[in-house]
Structure 1
């Protein structure tokens, strides 16, 4: 009885804790502008995006089908409040489809507006996901519209990727609207692709672990709309099959190069052993070669892979995208029927189309991604496409056919040379040693000649006495190489030189690569003295003795008008402090599938602009023996 009473008290405290933002009004409960902020919205989307999990560049939906809709930010940006709604394009006063909340800690239904979702508490977050069931046949196009509150005085609404338009069709992943792949932009921009692995034992259950977990070499190209490397519901080519089953990019690279003028740049990057870190490469696009497709194997696995297909880098206003971000979900190449990471070979006959792996398909508990509660799969990886250069070329000039870029090794991966027939060493079940990779430093790096050891000077040979062993000649070690001061972009300040560690033989030295600093935050105080913060991300961690990364966060002081005396005390920021999690309560049912909860209390609430408190109740699914009928 005492435990139930304690649970009830904590339950009330959770729902009372953490004020959420108000939207709408009495006259219009579905209004999307925040009622608690009297400042106008900011222009643009600030990197916030509405997306469908597991779908790349969606343009259509299947009537009656269920999707996972995600509102996310581009790290390190986050948000505190949001409002998400789905409307009919031909009548924006009417809802379209139905939402179901997957996380009641961060989301709730808007009061008096049952077809809209809003934040449950103003806690900091980078993404929320809800389930959406598409409307029936004949509905037409649907508009997802979102409002995002970054902080109490900064909010965005509808602009850019905060509006997603889907029209009724056969499938969201099919590029049935070929006009969406057209391009009217000029120039030949250079892009950097960064593949960030997010698959680990901490984020995904039943992780294979050991030295076998890896991402195979990244392989793809910038190409025209007349060529498809791989796509949803399409059939895997022999090259795609070798990538998905063996992790070998050689056959697919041959297929790509055979396309000739359809290809601008072949994109390659060495794989990750184990499956942590980033893969990067450089490539170019132009008006006819405005699409990008890449693929990599999730290993070990039967035929599972991740990637993007026909990502269009051309904008509707005849420009080039500055940054595009894709969260990647697992795909099945349709060539092997294995259900587990280390399943034995089980060829699929006849071969099936490429299809998505979800938490409900395949509906088999052996699948490492299956969830009886249909919890969406967390992204396994993320791809960033960042424009780093734009050649100022007139549209009247002849457009390059792409042949000059075919033989550039942009990512440092293994290239197919004339006469090469032997593929690299593949990893079979039970193998633990990764294949050797030839790594480079990108498009503009000079080709490194084979490393040659200088002749070793030996002292004159003398015969030692028979009873004495031969004298050992000590091997001299090269002194550590001093790196010159490196200027990080966006700071204008020199970083102290860091002596590099001795290079490992046969492995390239990779320096840390970081993004530019973002804008300074608002002052932490509304009066008196405070601090401002700006952040940047690590794109590539150093390897093999490369230059270490600099600071990811910078602070500086800011001074505003002097605070009244009673305001100074209230303005001091203090982060929320919370107790440790308590033990899990018993399962809510004695048979079948139920729910377990655990709780923690708030020791000290947040004050001022301090970090807010997080959830005080956590839930998980529990299983008991089946109920007897």
Structure 2
């Protein structure tokens, strides 16, 4: 009897599932299961790709700890053409993430817009890599991250709201080339500029080879249409049995006899100062003499950049301070 009742209930449930309306039922953007990813961040900030003012010491070129957040569309870690939050400002200027952590915890508790907060350790050179494992949930299928450029006034690389689902399934792999951004909170032009707050605060902007359009800008390369990528992010979906091991850092050196990786070479033209004033004429009255003016080199050329122009000029002259 119990077996007959069970069979009858099974048939009723099956019939209901076939005839029940689907209208109004929640539709998940991705698979109903969470997905695990390997996140690999690779710094490509080399002196050949970015020869202008490349930081060699105090401190040398390096990367801060990576900050990543999985979230839904009700939250944004940072956004282009928007003002940076106090936490983003602190992180972009100093690399500290205490305020940013508080902001994400507050959003998680009040709006339930954040699923997880992740952090990868710093890279002590411009070239190197770090990897972490992260979990993404169907209700929080977006990923945002930041890595501060060290040293810099308030510059960073990152991406805002990467969509990890495609149709109704998780993406298997994603690779992004990364370029510099200005947080809009510090007005320095060079990697080693002193702290000079931007008042009022500007919006977050993308730094390009022509913007800011100023010769002192460390990323100003007028001969380039686009900057080479400073870094690369790779996300790979993991099988359930896979794990992620943090690889050893690739330090910024070239082994004897070969190169571990070929980086693009950016031509850097020579940059010189303006001319000095002409010197006084170096002869007595009624005699032809010469006067000189000079200029000095701001930036030496590299990677087949334009050579320096002449640094000294002479002209014939007759003294004008004569008395008859």
| Deviation string, structure 1 residues 26-70 (Cα, Å, up to 9, x no partner) | xxxxxxxxxxxxxxxxxxxxxxxxxxxxxxxxxxxxxxxxxxxxx
Do structure 1's residue 265 and structure 2's residue 116 form an aligned pair? yes
1:252 aligns with 2:100: yes
**Counterparts of 1:184 and 1:357, CA distance in 2:** 34
Matched residue SS, 1:366? coil
Q: 1:540 aligned to 2:247?
A: yes
CA distance in 2 between counterparts of 1:211 and 1:278 reads 21
Q: TM-score, normalised by structure 1?
A: 0.34
Q: TM-score, normalised by structure 2?
A: 0.65
Cα deviation digits, residues 150-185 of structure 1 (max 9, x gap)? xxxxxxxxxxxxxxxxxxxxxxxxxxxxxxxx9243
- Cα pair distance change 1:214/1:620, threshold 3 Å: closer
Which residue is equivalent to 1:328? 178
SS of residue in 2 equivalent to 1:227: coil
* Alpha-carbon contact 1:334-1:355 (below 8 Å) kept: yes
- Alpha-carbon displacement from aligned partner over 1:423-444 (angstroms, at most 9, x marks no partner): xxxxxxxxxxxxxxxxxxxx98
Query: Does residue 313 of structure 1 match 2:164?
Result: yes
Aligned mates of 1:248, 1:195 — CA distance in 2: 19
Task: Give the Å deviation of 1:384.
Answer: 0.7
Indicate conservation of the 8 Å contact 2:80/2:205, yes or no.
yes
Please name the residue that 1:138 is paired with: none
For the pair 1:241 / 2:89, whether they are aligned, the reply is yes
| Equivalent runs, 1:118-517 vs 2, <5 Å | 183-205=29-51, 206-210=53-57, 212=59, 213-260=61-108, 261-316=112-167, 318-389=168-239
CA distance in 1, matches of 2:161, 2:171: 14
How far off is 1:280 after superposition? 1.6
Q: For each residue in 1:284-312, what CA deviation from the matched residue of structure 2 results, as whole angstroms up to 9, or x when unmatched?
A: 11222100001111011000000111000
Question: What is the rounded CA distance, in whole Å, between the counterparts of 1:214 and 1:384 in structure 2?
Answer: 19
Q: Which runs of 5+ in 1 are unaligned?
A: 1-181, 392-442, 446-512, 514-538, 544-617
What do the CA deviations read for 1:472-527 (whole angstroms, capped 9, x no partner)? xxxxxxxxxxxxxxxxxxxxxxxxxxxxxxxxxxxxxxxxx5xxxxxxxxxxxxxx
Which aligned runs of 4 or more in structure 1 are off by greater than 6 angstroms?
none
Tell me, in whole angstroms, the C-alpha distance in 2 between the residues paired with 1:230 and 1:390.
31
Q: Which has the larger radius of gyration?
A: 2
What is the Cα deviation at residue 248 of structure 1? 0.8
Is the 1:267–1:294 contact (alpha carbons within 8 Å) kept by the matching residues of 2? no
How far apart are residue 202 of structure 1 and its match? 2.6
Give secondary structure in 2 for the equivalent of 1:540.
coil
Q: Which has the higher contact order (CA 8 A, sep 6+)?
A: 2
The separation in 2 between residues aligned to 1:363 and 1:183, in whole angstroms, is 42
Mapped contact 1:195–1:279 kept (Cα < 8 A): yes
Q: What is the RMSD computed on CA atoms of the aligned residues?
A: 2.6
SS at match of 1:298: strand
The answer to whether the 8 A contact 1:211-1:273 is kept is no
Residues 84, 184 of structure 2: 8 Å contact kept: yes
The Cα of 1:540 is off from its aligned counterpart by: 2.1
Aligned residue pairs, count: 227
- Which blocks of at least 5 consecutive residues in structure 2 are unaligned? 1-27, 251-302, 311-324
Alpha-carbon distance in structure 2 between the residues aligned to 1:216 and 1:341: 14
Paired residue secondary structure (1:327): strand
Deviation of residue 325 (structure 1)?
0.5
Q: CA deviation at 1:374?
A: 3.5
Compared CA separation, residues 267 and 188, structure 1 to 2 (3 A): same
